[in-house]
A = this chain, B = another copy of it.
């Protein structure tokens, strides 16, 4: 005897879908600024204009909602950097890119990273920066997926480029360290205190481009100074 087929699934109803989305967006904003422990489900429910049990109804638990919010952020990050990661792998697999080509690819990746952190025209910009900062501080397993996205699609291809510049394997410690340092130049801009110190409330396209061009300049200077051990 077959199980009864439910014709309606959660999220199917237009009203329910809207509620779900409203909860997720509110949770994203609150979790990003207050963290998991610092945000209460009551606060989320109130600001989202729903009742408390709606959270359990749609996301199972507070942690389920947290995971959903992080997955959302992770998807956005992936969307921004994965295409460039793929191009890097292709270029490295294909043949022997020249030094300027390698540097250009690295700069492209860094540009994407800075857009991700700074471009206010992209949705949930601030939440994304804060969640990335939170990965270092909050040690819930719930944040692991976001960390893994960054490791696999940002650090790995970037250090592959730096490794090629140095004529060393991508997992060589010096290569990874140098890559982290280069990326650190961009990462500093997902710090809330830094942005406040700059007085940058709204950021705007011109500032994004200014930061990108400066980091590119620095990165190029670093990479051109790199000497491969064979040389």
| Interface residues, chain A, with chain B CB atoms under 8 Å away | 33, 35, 37-38, 130, 133-139, 147, 151, 155, 173-174, 176-178, 180-194, 197-198, 210-211, 214-215, 217-218, 220-222, 224-225
Which residues of the other chain, B, contact A224 by a CB distance below 8 angstroms?
221
Number of copies: 2
**In the bound complex, do residue B191 and residue A136 qualify as a contact, i.e. CB atoms below 8 Å apart?**
yes
Q: Are A192 and B35 in contact (CB under 8 A)?
A: no
By the criterion CB–CB under 8 Å, are B177 and A183 in contact?
no
Q: How many Å from the CB of A191 to the closest CB on chain B?
A: 4
Nearest CB of chain B from residue A179's CB, rounded to whole Å: 10
Q: Distance (Å) between the CB of A40 and the closest chain B CB?
A: 10
Shortest CB distance A3–B (Å): 42
Question: B214 touching A225 by the CB < 8 A rule?
Answer: no
Given A184-B186, A188-B180, A221-B225, A193 and B147 touching (CB < 8 A)? yes
**Do A192 and B222 form a contact, CB below 8 Å, given A185-B182, A214-B177?**
no
Partner of A137, one of B130, B147, B182, B211: B130
Interface CB pairs A-B, < 8 A, 6: A37-B38, A133-B133, A136-B192, A151-B197, A184-B189, A218-B225
Name A150's closest neighbour in chain B (CB-CB): B193
Q: Pick the contact of A187 from B139, B155, B184, B211 — CB < 8 Å? A: B184
Are B137 and A35 within 8 A (Cβ)? yes
A17 CA / B135 CA spacing, docked (Å): 36
Complex: how many Å from CA A107 to CA B15?
59
Chain B residues, CB < 8 A from A198: 173, 176-177
A135 to B188, CA, bound (A): 13
Among residues of B, the one whose C-beta sits closest to the C-beta of A146 is B193
Give me 15 other A-B pairs in contact (C-beta within 8 A), A178-B214, A181-B186, A221-B224 excluded.
A35-B38, A35-B138, A37-B38, A136-B190, A139-B192, A173-B210, A176-B198, A177-B211, A180-B194, A181-B188, A183-B188, A184-B186, A187-B187, A221-B221, A221-B222
